[in-house]
Amino acid sequence: MWSNVIGEARVKHILTSALEHGKLPSAYLFAGPEGTGKDAAAIELAKAINCLNPRNNGTEACDECASCSAISSFTSPAVTFVHALPGKDNDREESEQKEEDLTVIREQRAAKAADPYFNLEIPRATSIKIGQVRELRLALSRSLAGSKRRVVIISEADMMNAQSQNAFLKTLEEPHADTLIILTSSNATRLLPTVHSRCQEIRFEPLLVDEIAQALQEREELPEAQAAFLARLAAGSYSRARQMIGENVQQMRDEIVNFLRMGLSRSRKNATVEVDRFLPRSAGGSYLEKRQAVEQRLMLLTLWLRDALALATKAEHEIINLDQKEALVRFVSRFGDPQRIIVAIGCIDRAMQLTRLQLQLRPVMLSLIVDLEAALL
């Protein structure tokens, strides 16, 4: 049922009216930010097409029939779900997977089947290989019994490298009449123009705060207040909101804001201490974990400064960190020059880029503090 997809009324309308008018194209490209339900919508569409007792004029899956449940559990022969796999791209041979990888892949696919908003995290799965594209083409050439229409979902299609994308063009342009190909991508600009031009592109928009909050309450059974807080920080992405459930976001946010304050007040020494709070000097954690910790906090700091900017330009009602309003007011009363806050946000942006270059994190953070001070004071 379409209620399985959060928000996105416009997208749902486009898809249902295409179903109703019998105007499904041979290929869709679902493009839009991460965590807006592109895969979920693709699965829902596949169900609606193949449902045995479709509702609402054939535009909605019943979620009960054999076909629907098979598609939901990724066991239907009619629906192929393609995603990046680990291993080298050894062109000719069919990509063979190692035993331990297979276990992970199976688990991950099961998780995705249970919840379409789940982000697959398969180690070393960096691309959709040309071998997979070949396999897919072969599979599509065989006929299919019992289903109305075959649906191929290529999740995060931009993971196809240039070779795979080119090899896919012919299939994409002229697939069998009974085939629907759905590409989903949160980096659609990385797809070749020749791919874009062969698909009907449907753009997903960031979810509204209320939509995310409601979904968090219904699906994750979060209390209202926490749901609202996470929804505001999620920047329109349900996946991101859900990722933050387990973590103490408020504490992270406060840590990083304290770090900012330290830098702007007297003691640099305390700033170092603050950095060490989330970057344990020697103990525990790989570089990647530390980097993620830093990136998450920098993101929260950007949001916080963005609120300060909103406040400084008198757009109070736009504030995301509502619980921090007093602190923000105090901050703005001292460092309220919007131009300077803009420069400060630029500094954080640069620090983000530096962490992505895999530089040492502590120096990056300490130089960020100096930059921020120069920007704001």
**Binding residues for other proteins restricted to 35-94, rule: CB under 8 A:** 49, 58, 91-92
Binds other proteins (CB under 8 A): choice among 89, 101, 323, 373: 323
Cβ proximity of 198 and 169 under 8 Å: yes
Comparison of 125 and 345: residue with beta carbon closer to other proteins: 345
Distance of alpha carbon 91 from its chain centroid, rounded?
A: 29
Cα 122 from chain centroid?
A: 15
Beta strands, E only, the chain: 27-31, 79-82, 150-154, 179-185, 200-203
Task: Tell which one of 95, 109, 115, 137 touches other proteins (CB under 8 A).
Answer: 137
Q: Supply the minimum distance, in Å, between the C-beta of residue 169 and other proteins.
A: 6
* Nearer Cβ to other proteins (66/162): 162
Count how many Cα atoms sit within 13 Å of the Cα of residue 286 in the half-sphere of its side chain.
Answer: 2
Question: Applying CB under 8 A, which of residues 107, 337, 358, 374 lies at the interface with other proteins?
Answer: 337
Phi, psi of 301, rounded to the nearest 5 degrees: -65, -40
**Cα dihedral 253→256→262→267 (10° resolution):** 140
Distance CA 27, CA 172 (A): 7
Cα–Cα distance for residue pair 210/7, rounded to 1 Å: 9
- Assess 342 for contact with other proteins (CB under 8 A): yes
Site for other proteins in 174-213 (CB under 8 A): 174, 177-178, 189, 193-194, 196-206, 208
Which of the stretches 39-47, 95-103, 129-137, 282-290 binds other proteins when contact is defined by CB under 8 A? 129-137
Of 86 and 263, nearer to other proteins (C-beta) is 263
Which CB sits closer to other proteins, 294 or 312? 312
Closest to other proteins by CB, 21 vs 281, is 21
